[in-house]
Amino acid sequence: MRIARLAFGACIAMCALALPCAAQTPASFQQSGMLTGGGRYVVRHDPASLVAAIDLWFRAPGAGYDLQYPGISRLAVTAIAASSVEHGTPVSELVRRYGGTLTIEAYPDIVMIGASVPANRAASVLRALTTAFFSPQITTSGFKAAQRDAAVAAAESAFEPARVMQDALFAEVFTAGPAHYPATPSTVADLTKIPQDAVSAFATRAFSRANAVLTLAGAVDASMLPRAGVGASGTASPPIDSTVATAPSQTTKNGSEPGLGYAWIGPPILDAKAATAMDFIADYLFDPDHGTVAAAVAHDTPDAYVEGQFITLHDPGVLLASVSGGSSQVLERQVLGAVAAMQQPMNAQRFEAARAAFEYHILRQTQRPSERADVFGWYTVEGNPAYAPGDASGTYLQAAESLDPQYVASIARKYLSGPFTVKLFAAPSKGRAA
Amino acid sequence: MIRLSALVFALLFGAALPASALTIVRQPDPAANLVGTEVVLRAGLDRQTPAQNGLSALVAQAILQTPVGSSKQPLESAVAALGGSVTYAIEPRSVRFYLEGVPKTFDQALALFRQALGSPDFSYRSLAAARTALNERSRQNDRLALNVGIAMLNRAFYQNSDAGMPAYGLPATLANFDTADASRFFADHYRRGEAVISAVGNLGALSGEPYATLLDALPQGASQAVALHEPSLPSTTRELIARRDIPVPWLVAQYPAPKLGTRDFAAMLVLSSFLERTLGDVAQVPSVATRSFAQRGVGALYNFDAQPANVIVYVDGGLGDPSRTFATALTIVNVLGHAKLGGDLSEMKALAIGQFVDQTTTLESKAWLGGVFAEAAVPGDYAGATLKQIESVTAADLQHVAAKYLGAPTIALVLPRAQRTQ
């Protein structure tokens, strides 16, 4: 899940830290600031890259400004990408012709579109994206294409255990606001009932220059940034938070397969050290390839799969852990027992090894231009751009380097007790609505 | 003496070298946060006899489990504790080790790898653990219909060697190998000759030149492939069938393909990417956002790193009747082979360029490409050269390549266990 990659984060410029590459990574590779006429930008130049990643991020509620239409932000961004602007070629078709990839992601409080294209196509695609999204227009054919795409996404999401679990947990953790609703509904009916005029109105409000965060990475440079005059400036939205439940809950639901889900409310993005400690805990316990809980479950219950992440949100962040393919008490004990054990300081040698591995995982997860553009976009719209892994300030890696066993244990004691719990039971197939 | 001069040559030009020499290629990237190094040794599947199937993987896996450093942790864990990783892949001719890590400790990671190569642990206990790991890896591979299909096709494709045998062996064959077998295979085939080291990332942040001596623990000279002379079985069909626990049937086809470094290489890049796009257009609902590899269900893979090279075309039956989609692909290939395309080829070339550069976005894939092009004796800026070659492909080139290579494929059908073929 894209959000998972973002939540772990990374650091690229480590100038203030002990890592030798810090001295080799000049801050001149990165530029950031305000776009002429409104909006923010971050440009990360990679001289060795043959690929340009171009992202546009917007703060916008996934269920709409009146929370009436879950899925409307996905529908809107997809419709614009598929609509011809002033008889031109739709963004989606342009990227396809250039041999690139187009990514669209909707989250409860954010929606983004990103293109990854060969270097010589970067300027053209950037122009097309900003033209389309700074003056949004939705054609009938674009809207239909978006409905078709969103319907496929909805059908697929119903069979992604981690997505289903996250939606179920968020519905419990957040009692009101956009995070209470799934960013992509799991039924086609929920999407097709959204009228085109509602989508157009949403797009006009959400997609403006002032509300945009433009992130470029790879074979790009600041000279490519759009000049003034393209699109209306609009209004920048503040970070969009949702209402947190007053006490943890335990819920059971039907799913496509049995599963367990846990959520703990964590620190806000501005508490960088605490948020990084939560990232560390998630990596140490739940990384699907290396996490201690993931490994133990793989050994004891080969058909079960564990993953977890700290989702770095404006306020508050949320640590999620999910088990798919099983919901036994043994699995329950493995997850909760490991989380409880984090409340005691780790052995110093083991901690050093785990932190080194954590920093490496973060760097590895954010090496592609598209991944770099993603982290800049995510952390900027959530409200702490300097904390973006890879930001020239090196804030993220400084926070990681400052962790010690006692501090991590104190964060576990502060945040990791009494989780929200969702238990999924496999539903009979004929009962599914999708 | 030869090694040193070859090394200097490689450092200066990133070039491929005489067959007996160690080759070092470097792709420095000062903006990268990590360093990656691929070590390619001629100790792959074609070094095995039929009775040794799985031995190449067993040796490589045991190396990852070799105790190293003062803590005597397994190499894999010791590198992870430094902030890095070490993995391997078994290929028809070679074993590829890939190390990656943060620059501040990467020298140490390389030293641990060198130590493991110097005294690999092939004890009974180590081999038992390696067998367990390989059996799990095979089990995971067997769950993916595309992997099963490709494995079947490779068995038929490589006729004069063991290169088409299962990369990670079979439980029954792995159970037979002991310390002496692993030690002998290691001694015979882990050689410096023809080895390739492909280094990528923030190389300037390393404290010294770690590569010149990285393989010093291995003996000089080259390993020899095992030549098999098995008579071909008479057959009137080019179809292979397997059954697995999968929900829908898959069709996987394999064609021979031009070798990397030949004139036809770029035309096949264009043709295979066009084939993938066309299959997607025929088989799938059009999409606005790009489908990921896992979401696609149809595709074409040009394995230009393999020797001989080949193209794989696959269709997931979950999208409908796979034979109908594949028939469309065959028709397209036939048309391309018998008539020169008119009009502008720029969109076809753009597709190929997009797919090629997309393979250069991680250090691991860059290291792999650097190694593959070095093995094929393609010197210098391989990426720039490839993009130029793609740009110069003509309609006549496409017709020639389609007619020459994309004639009669061998087809593998991977069916759900309960389904009948007729």
Extract long-range pairs of B338-347: CB within 8 Å, 24+ residues apart: B338/B399, B338/B403, B339/B399, B340/B395, B340/B396, B340/B398, B340/B399, B341/B395, B341/B398, B341/B399, B342/B395, B345/B270, B345/B393, B345/B394, B345/B395, B345/B398, B347/A97
Cα four-point dihedral sign B387, B391, B392, B394: positive
Among A175-184, B142-151, B228-237, B257-266, the minimum mean pLDDT is found in B228-237
DSSP state of A183: S
Mean pLDDT of the region B69-77: 95
Whether residue A101 and residue B290 make contact (CB cut-off 8 A), yes or no, is: yes
The residues in B 211-270 lying below 8 A from A, measured between CB atoms, are none
DSSP for A324-354 reads: ES---HHHHHHHHHHHHHTTSPPPHHHHHHH
The fraction of chain B above a pLDDT of 90, given in percent, is 56
A/B interface, count of CB pairs below 8 Å:
146
pLDDT digits (tens, 9 = 90+) for B239-283: 788 787 777 788 888 999 999 999 999 999 999 999 888 888 887
**CB-CB contact of A296 with A284 (8 Å):** no
Phi, psi of A103 (to 5 degrees): -120, 135
Nearest Cβ partner for A19 among B104, B273, B357: B104
**Neighboring chain B residues of A363 at a CB cutoff of 8 Å:** 33-34, 102
Alpha helix (H) ranges present in A158-217? Answer: 161-173, 188-192, 196-206
pLDDT digits (tens, 9 = 90+) for B171-229: 889 999 999 999 999 999 999 989 999 999 999 999 888 998 999 999 999 898 888 77
**CB-CB contact of A207 with A58 (8 Å):** yes
- Check whether B16 has a pLDDT greater than 80: no
Instruction: Report the residue of chain B nearest A144, measured CA to CA.
Output: B288
Which pLDDT does position A20 carry in this prediction? 31
Pairing of strands B298-303, A318-324: unpaired
Which pLDDT does position A159 carry in this prediction? 77
**Neighboring chain A residues of B355 at a CB cutoff of 8 Å:** 99
Cα four-point dihedral sign B165, B168, B171, B172: positive
Q: What ipTM describes this predicted complex?
A: 0.90
**Of B419, B365, B398, B313, which is closest to residue B38 (Cα–Cα)?**
B365
Q: Does A413 touch chain B (CB under 8 A)?
A: no
DSSP for B260-283 reads: TTSTHHHHHHHHHHHHHHHHHHHH
pLDDT digits (tens, 9 = 90+) for A321-336: 999 988 889 999 999 9
Return the structure tokens found at B234: 């008479």
Which pLDDT does position B4 carry in this prediction? 34
**Of A365, A323, A372, which is closest to residue A30 (Cα–Cα)?**
A372
Whether residue B105 and residue A356 make contact (CB cut-off 8 A), yes or no, is: yes
Name residues whose C-beta falls within 8 Å of residue B284's C-beta, 6 or more positions apart in sequence. B291, B296, B297, B298, B319
Q: Any idea which residue has 């006549």 for tokens?
A: B396
> What residues form DSSP beta bridges with B303?
B310
Greater pLDDT, B319 or B404: B404
Chain B nearest-CA distance from A362, in A, is 10
pLDDT digits (tens, 9 = 90+) for A116-139: 999 999 999 999 999 999 999 999
Alpha helix (H) ranges present in A210-291? Answer: 272-286
Whether residue B34 and residue A117 make contact (CB cut-off 8 A), yes or no, is: no
Distance CA B303, CA B286 (A): 27
> What residues form DSSP beta bridges with B199?
B26, B37
Distance CA B10, CA A49 (A): 22
Distance CA A9, CA A25 (A): 18
> Which helix (H) or strand (E) segment is A25 a member of?
none
Return the structure tokens found at A116: 């990854």
Picking from A50, A156, A191 by the largest number of B CB atoms within 10 A of its own CB, the best residue to mutate is A50
Distance CA A45, CA A215 (A): 11
Q: Does B381 touch chain A (CB under 8 A)?
A: no
> Which helix (H) or strand (E) segment is B252 a member of?
strand B250-256
Write down the pTM of the prediction: 0.91
Calculate the average pLDDT of chain A. 89
CA angle B292, A118, A22 (to 5 degrees): 90
Which pLDDT does position B226 carry in this prediction? 87
pLDDT digits (tens, 9 = 90+) for A192-221: 899 999 999 999 999 999 999 999 999 999
Picking from B139, B203, B278, B288 by the largest number of A CB atoms within 10 A of its own CB, the best residue to mutate is B288
Whether residue B34 and residue A145 make contact (CB cut-off 8 A), yes or no, is: no
Q: Does B104 touch chain A (CB under 8 A)?
A: yes
Three-class secondary structure of residue B305 per DSSP: coil
**Neighboring chain A residues of B33 at a CB cutoff of 8 Å:** 10-12, 14, 21, 25, 363, 367
Distance CA B12, CA B9 (A): 5
- Return the axis-axis angle of helices A72-82 and A122-134, rounded to nearest 10°: 120
**Neighboring chain A residues of B285 at a CB cutoff of 8 Å:** 148, 152
